[in-house]
Amino acid sequence: MIKLGVLHGDGIGYEIVEATKTLVSAAAIHVNTSITWIPLPMGLEAIKQYGTSMPKETIKSLEQVDGWIMGPHDSLSYPSHLSDERNPSGELRHLFDLYANIRPAQSTPLIKGLVSDADLIIYRENTEGFYVDRNMYRGVGEWMVTEDVAITTGVFTRHAIERIAHAAFQKARQRRKKVTIVHKANVIKLGSGFFLQVCREVSALYPDVHVDDYHIDAMCAHLVRRISDFDVIVTENMFGDILSDLTSELVGSLGLAGSINANDRQAMAQAAHGSAPDIAGKGIANPMGMIESSALLLDWLAEKHQNQSLATMAALIRESVATTLAQGVATADLGGIHTTASFTKHILVQLDKKERIQ
């Protein structure tokens, strides 16, 4: 039995998370696997009940689950007295040391993208770098010296760099055996230079994996011009955030991108897009980013627990989405006419046609 937390989040979060739960539960039935869902408050819902967007009760419950699905948050709508708190995503990444943000970008003929030959995955270090809300033990890594001077700190540690590098190289061994390190060592010589140095040291332990490296600015250009040349990209926090948004848009849309945030024991499924408050409650949100994030979570759990049924669930979900799109069934953002609910229902119909594994 797999225990998964459910955090609906804000805006369109409830709609897309419920759609995802429906499909994951149906896939579980097909492979005779039991999923226990643990609903937990977060965001505006939690603020109303507990006065904070990430209650201690939620955090305590998450410690007991295998992973969780997290909807988007709308931090800008939170009360002003909470502005100094980390947003819900940053808080969980920090508290649970979810050091790896893993985001694939793959072209498909079913989605019109700006490129047609992408198949890569980005491993973004998720706990330090220039992300000041999570790079300090306590407090944040920036301050105002005077009203006219702001200082922001970037943090780079051997421990954090080694573990994200190992994760990237291990994944490359399962793929096309190529890792690209992205940095800015020519300017940020100590911080980004240290990231490059340690990644290179780790690469020596994987002699079967080809490794190269590029400056972040050049890498953006290379991805636009020759994205098919790249397999696994490893980089620090801010650069990874930028590159993963770029690659998601190149293959289709940021709104379709899935991702997980993981440590060595748990993982959090989180779509790359935001809460879209302008369309919340209208039933027109595309749940594909959240659905793909859940499939990535199932893949991660399958590998961790050596559980082929979970990998089969992920494959069933992806195949059912692909068949649905191939039939011309889509939400408005993809030129279709379907609502969140009707789109999900069509995927569910395709999933139910699959042969059940006894």
Phi, psi of 230 (to 5 degrees): -110, 145
Report the pLDDT averaged over residues 255-276: 94
Q: Is the pLDDT of residue 201 over 70?
A: yes
The pLDDT of residue 86 is: 84
Residue 357 CB-half CA count within 13 A: 15
Give percent above pLDDT 70 in the chain: 99
Cα separation, 34 vs 28, in Å, equals 6
pLDDT-above-90 percentage for the chain: 89
pLDDT above 80: residue 341: yes
What is the CA angle 140-144-145, rounded to 5? 125
Quote the pLDDT of residue 54: 95
pLDDT for the residue numbered 137? 82
User: Which token pair is 218?
Assistant: 């050049």
Going by C-alpha positions, the residue among 26, 17, 79 that lies closest to residue 53 is 79
Domain boundaries in the chain? 1-99+266-358, 113-251
pLDDT tens string 157-171: 999 999 999 999 999
Contacts of 302 (CB under 8 A, 6+ apart): 308, 309, 310, 311, 314
Its pTM stands at: 0.94
d(CA 145, CA 131): 19
Q: Are 20 and 69 in contact (CB under 8 A)?
A: yes
Residue 333 in this model has a pLDDT that exceeds 80: yes
> How many other β-carbons are positioned within 10 Å of the β-carbon of residue 354?
17
pLDDT in tens, 67-82: 999 999 998 899 988 8
The residue assigned the tokens 């779509």 is 271
**What was the pLDDT predicted at 344?**
97
> Binning pLDDT at 50, 70 and 90, where does residue 83 land?
confident
Report pLDDT for 1: 80
Residue 335: other Cβ atoms inside 10 A: 9
- Lowest-confidence range among 13-22, 47-56, 134-143, 320-329? 134-143
With respect to CATH, is domain 113-251 assigned 3.40.718.10?
A: yes
1-99+266-358 and 113-251 in the same fold: yes
Residues in the chain: 358
* Per-residue pLDDT at 58 exceeds 60: yes
Average pLDDT (73-96) is 89
Picking from 340, 302, 269, the residue whose alpha carbon sits closest to that of residue 103 is: 269
Q: Which of 300, 270, 181, 183 is nearest to 232 (CA)?
A: 181
pLDDT recorded at residue 131: 87
**How do residues 95-114 score in pLDDT, each as one tens digit?**
999 999 999 999 999 999 99
- Residue 356: per-residue pLDDT: 73
Assigned superfamily of 1-99+266-358: Isopropylmalate Dehydrogenase (3.40.718.10)
At residue 240, the pLDDT reads 97
Rounded CA-CA distance 172/174 in Å is 5
Task: Report residue 357's pLDDT band, with 50, 70 and 90 as the boundaries.
Answer: low
The DSSP letter of residue 268 is E
Q: What does R_g of the chain's alpha carbons equal in angstroms?
A: 20
Residue 260: which pLDDT band, with cuts at 50, 70 and 90? very high
Q: Determine the Cα angle at 96 with ends 180 and 248, to 5°.
A: 40
Rounded distance, CA 233 to CA 58, Å?
Answer: 33
